[in-house]
Amino acid sequence: QPPQLTVNSPVQDELYTSSSILMDIDVNEKSNIFYYDNLNGISWKQVCIGCFEYSMLRTFKEGFNDLTFKASDVLGNTAYYNVSFYVDSKKPKIRNVEPRRGFAPDSFKVYFSEKNPKSLKLYYGNYLRGYTEKEVDINEECYKDKGKYICDTNVDVSDYDGQFINYWFNITDIAGNSDKNKPI
């Protein structure tokens, strides 16, 4: 019979706000335990040899993680356990916005760094006419270049023709962390 493998942590579909996560594993018989990164793995990584339990912090990459755990007893019987989870330990960062000054066409651009973006909003307007919010579609209006997102969105600013306006972007990640640029 293969060993009974129980992975208490990391927890399936959990969102971790630290890249150091408790790896807590139990087996019902002396086993060799390994894990494999299903997204970026090259080989199985050793957790422990000849153990009944393991409980220590391990560091995982930012973003989505998909792991397979393997426990093999002394006779070679093997049990597997899959778990996937998210790590979002870094806050988003808006790097740049356009236009910086002068005439504001209907096109606004933002550059930001974030592995797990959830929402991006553009706020624009003035106190005279009021402010408007636009949800930017990250999947459609953004692309990734060298680990950074570049987003270009269009809005109708004709209601503000001949007036000064302010605008800013606000990016929020899956952990609820956000960043916004200084109003331009």
Residue-wise pLDDT tens digits, 48-73 = 999 999 999 999 999 999 999 999 99
CA 67 – CA 87 distance, rounded (Å)? 13
CA 128 – CA 125 distance, rounded (Å)? 8
CA 7 from centre of chain:
23
Structure tokens given for 114: 């974030």
Percent of the chain with pLDDT over 70: 99
What residues of the chain score a pLDDT lower than 70?
Answer: 104
CA 163 – CA 165 distance, rounded (Å)? 6
Residue 65: what residue type? N
